[in-house]
């Protein structure tokens, strides 16, 4: 344990990086996948199950928590870790992305964003300063600057304005964080990450990255991807952005992705990821396995006594028959969503662990090629 | 362990009975509360949690399982125990009650009941013989005769006809069970219970009970209660029925009830119970505690850092704050339903364990008076 935030790069192999982020709440082994605990709970999964699956860190959404139950309330209850019973690191986003995707009647100015809650229509204001204040109230170990997220496709002008505004908000977020550190509201082991925007425009991405690197955040995130562009475009943008980022700081690719996205992105030097896919797919009857995606709604599972994966260390994947999972999904039983979300979270952690082992042993390229082939089988489910 | 079904009465105290039902799959300590696993899952609860909470037996619904996934399918997968990963005893009802409460366009004749599935409208026939065949295919340790359930209030004629039909169906169920035993489809350690009907009419109840006792089932159930009558009427009917039932066989009061119902019914000599209340209430934000019912939707819990019950051995009741539970319930998160269902199942098991301890120590009457007082506080929630 440490009382400081630090990143250590241990190995690189075929572009992929093995490392560790040290925080006062524990080490995050990278490449790392962060399960998404939107409203202070990873949907349908117990905290103990996350830990047993190997998750070192979870993500929580500032947008949701600012609306309900409110950051001041969570602070009064001892912070987000105590509230949701998760004592390992937590990363919170800044709310920028959800304001774009969920809030109603939003209005963005240079000062910040005014929007209506999707829950009760109440008006809220999110500025770079308030986003940091909220994340400090939550007690997040890794905090994110407020950025402006735009929908793709967007014109170059719109993309550029949002990228520049995000940089300006990054600087304000940083000053706000420093003030809160001085005031003792932020804690020394907590860290603030900046976010590169710039859409899929190579030049805007590079300029944004260069400007962000100048500001010297504790970590650098790549935002505004995985919003509908092709995988090819996403990976190309990631690749050219990563080249401008320093090697000695963690790189967080926000909102990604499928298992194959993760492998491709690790191969391009990304260290951290988050995505609702494992839990959302689990609630919709889909399982991720080493043999590809399995759709448990499919009638071919109705009489199958075999588990999702007899080799898994996760009870949900190892001990329950596909026939039972099929029945639970068809019957819309809670336990179906519970078991599949758990199994998917465990699979994602197994995938990251396998990547870390392959990098450590200098066989990442071969491992990646073989694993992508296996995953592309899609479990023979359409 | 035993390869036979047997009931042993250990103590009686102020009308309450302490005993044990021995089955090849384990002992059921009585008085026993059976969590309801309608569609082969106790909603939102893992099998391991049921076991850790102290449940010796669960109930599953023949009606639901005959419609989906189908008893032949479950038999082909190794039976209901393997299917739902529950290796302790299972009691199945006969489907009669759900046909009345859930199915569409049902038509009852002396032969059986024809009805339309509430899932897909398909027509099904349930006879006493088929109800037993289904329960044998499921592999239920305790099986129930098919009975005719009526809605209350009902005329004496309707009540009498249903009671007589239920007795006739009881005899046919018994013959069917014996044939399946001879054929090896039913197993020697499995048992069939008869059901006393007769509404709330004392004379019909007594006549039904006397006739049922003549038939010498392995256990005697009291059906047709907890369907809208007052608690006073329910308990009076229970009391006069129990008087006609033999002491050396278990008595199962079907579909009951609230914690206070359970105490009152145990005081009147009932041994076994089932009810959806702990899990259904859990899904609706309500918790049962030793200080009464707690409505987690209530805003007074929003800032309460205390758990439901610091003394509970159940992590859901002991380790999570009321503030967090309130938040989860308000946010309609899976974890809210999961934690409250788990906590309620555990509370019901604690309640039964406390009753068994009180009977064993000859202090049931005092314990019951004091506990009813505590439970009636209703946790100060309206």
User: Looking at the partner chain, which of A40, A302, A327 has a beta carbon nearest the beta carbon of B40?
Assistant: A327
The percentage of residues in chain B with a pLDDT greater than 70, rounded to a whole number, is 98
Compute the average pLDDT of residues B178-205. Answer: 97
How many CB contacts within 8 angstroms connect chain A with chain B?
A: 98
Compute the average pLDDT of residues B83-101. Answer: 95
Q: Distance between CA atoms of B195 and B208, rounded to whole angstroms? A: 9
- Check CB contact under 8 Å for A40 and B303: no
Q: What is the ipTM of this complex?
A: 0.98
Q: Distance between CA atoms of B252 and B207, rounded to whole angstroms? A: 18
Peptide bond between residue A21 and the one before it cis (omega within 30 degrees of 0) = no
Contacts of A108 (CB under 8 A, 6+ apart): A148, A165
pLDDT for position A380 = 54
pLDDT for position B151 = 85
- pLDDT interval class at A148 (50, 70, 90): very high
Q: Distance between CA atoms of A207 and A214, rounded to whole angstroms? A: 11
Q: What is the mean pLDDT of chain B?
A: 96
Task: Please name the residue of chain A whose CA is at the shortest distance from the CA of residue B76.
Answer: A303
Compute the average pLDDT of residues A41-55. Answer: 98
What count of Cα atoms within 13 Å lies in the side-chain half-sphere of residue A278?
32
Reported in sequence order, the residue ranges of chain B that DSSP labels E, i.e. its strands, are 6-13, 16-23, 26-30, 32-35, 58-60, 90-92, 104-108, 113-116, 123-126, 142-144, 191-196, 219-222, 251-253, 272-275, 286-289, 292-295
Compute the average pLDDT of residues B233-244. Answer: 98
- Kindly report the number of other CB atoms within 10 A of residue A2's CB atom: 12
Which tens digits make up the pLDDT trace of B276-317?
Answer: 999 999 999 999 999 999 999 999 999 999 999 999 999 999
User: Looking at the partner chain, which of A44, A83, A85 has a beta carbon nearest the beta carbon of B319?
Assistant: A85
Contacts of A159 (CB under 8 A, 6+ apart): A150, A197, A198, A199, A201, A204
pLDDT for position B105 = 85
Give the single-character DSSP code of A151.
P
- Kindly report the number of other CB atoms within 10 A of residue B153's CB atom: 11
pLDDT for position A1 = 59
Tell me the chain B residues in contact with residue A77 when contact means C-beta distances shorter than 8 Å. Answer: 303, 305, 321, 323-324
pLDDT for position A3 = 85
Distances B265 to B204, B205, B232, B243, B248 between C-alpha atoms, Å: 20, 17, 11, 13, 18
- pLDDT interval class at B38 (50, 70, 90): very high
Task: Please name the residue of chain A whose CA is at the shortest distance from the CA of residue B321.
Answer: A83
Tokens of A191: 């860290």
Q: Distance between CA atoms of A195 and A221, rounded to whole angstroms? A: 4
pLDDT for position A381 = 61
- Check CB contact under 8 Å for A44 and B334: yes
- Kindly report the number of other CB atoms within 10 A of residue B9's CB atom: 15
Give A181-210 as a DSSP string.
HHHTSS-TT-EEEEEE--TT-HHHHHHHHH
- Check CB contact under 8 Å for B334 and A337: yes
Does the pTM surpass 0.95? The reply is yes
Distance in Å, alpha carbon of A185 to nearest chain B alpha carbon: 21
Residue positions of A annotated with a catalytic role: 93, 274
User: Looking at the partner chain, which of A41, A45, A302 has a beta carbon nearest the beta carbon of B69?
Assistant: A302
- Check CB contact under 8 Å for A46 and B324: no
Distances A21 to A190, B175, B374 between C-alpha atoms, Å: 12, 70, 51
Which tens digits make up the pLDDT trace of A278-328?
Answer: 999 999 999 999 999 999 999 999 999 999 999 999 999 999 999 999 999
Most A-contacting residue of B60, B301, B327, B338 (CB-CB within 10 A), to test interface: B327
pLDDT at A73 over 80: yes
- Check CB contact under 8 Å for B83 and A40: no
Compute the average pLDDT of residues B206-220. Answer: 98
Tell me the chain A residues in contact with residue B43 when contact means C-beta distances shorter than 8 Å. Answer: 333-335
Q: Distance between CA atoms of A81 and B93, rounded to whole angstroms? A: 44
Q: Are B302 and B326 in contact (CB under 8 A)?
A: yes
Residue positions of B annotated with a catalytic role: 93, 274
Q: How would you classify the pairing of strands A113-116 and A123-126? A: antiparallel
Chain B residues contacting A, CB < 8 Å? 39-41, 43-46, 68-69, 73, 76-78, 82-85, 302-303, 305, 319-321, 323-324, 326-328, 330-331, 333-335, 337-338
pLDDT at A382 over 60: no
Distance in Å, alpha carbon of B82 to nearest chain A alpha carbon: 9
Task: Please name the residue of chain B whose CA is at the shortest distance from the CA of residue A44.
Answer: B334
């Amino acid at each position: 344990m440490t009382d400081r935030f630090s990143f250590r790069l241990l190995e690189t192999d075929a572009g992929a990086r093995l490392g560790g982020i040290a925080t006062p709440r524990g080490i995050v082994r990278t490449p790392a996948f962060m399960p998404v605990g939107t409203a202070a709970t990873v949907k349908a999964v117990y905290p103990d199950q996350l830990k047993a699956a190997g998750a070192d860190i979870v993500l929580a959404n500032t947008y949701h928590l600012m609306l309900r139950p409110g950051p001041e309330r969570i602070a009064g209850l001892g912070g987000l870790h105590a509230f949701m019973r998760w004592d390992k690191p937590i990363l919170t986003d800044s709310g920028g992305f959800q304001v774009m995707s969920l809030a109603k009647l939003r209005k963005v100015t240079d000062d910040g964003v005014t929007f209506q809650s999707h829950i009760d229509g109440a008006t809220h204001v999110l500025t770079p300063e308030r986003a940091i204040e909220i994340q400090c109230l939550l007690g997040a170990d890794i905090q994110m600057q407020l950025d402006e997220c735009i929908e793709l496709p967007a014109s170059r002008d719109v993309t550029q304005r949002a990228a520049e505004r995000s940089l300006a908000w990054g600087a304000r977020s940083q000053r706000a964080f420093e003030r809160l550190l001085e005031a003792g509201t932020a804690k020394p082991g907590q860290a603030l990450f900046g976010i590169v925007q710039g859409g899929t425009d190579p030049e805007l991405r590079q300029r944004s990255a260069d400007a962000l690197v100048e500001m010297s955040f504790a970590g650098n995130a790549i935002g505004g991807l995985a919003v509908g562009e092709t995988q090819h475009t996403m990976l190309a943008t990631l690749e050219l952005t990563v080249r401008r980022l320093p090697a000695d700081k963690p790189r967080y690719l926000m909102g990604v992705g499928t298992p194959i996205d993760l492998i491709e992105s690790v191969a391009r030097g990304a260290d951290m990821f988050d995505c609702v896919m494992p839990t959302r797919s689990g609630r919709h009857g889909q399982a991720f396995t080493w043999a590809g995606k399995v759709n448990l709604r499919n009638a071919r599972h109705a009489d199958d006594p075999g588990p999702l994966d007899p080799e898994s260390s996760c009870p949900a994947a190892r001990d329950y028959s596909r026939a039972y999972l099929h029945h639970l999904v068809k019957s819309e039983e809670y336990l179906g969503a519970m078991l599949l979300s758990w199994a998917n979270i465990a699979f994602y952690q197994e995938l990251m662990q396998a990547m870390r082992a392959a990098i450590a042993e200098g066989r990442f390229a071969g491992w990646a090629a073989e694993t992508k082939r296996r995953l592309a089988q899609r479990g023979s489910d359409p």
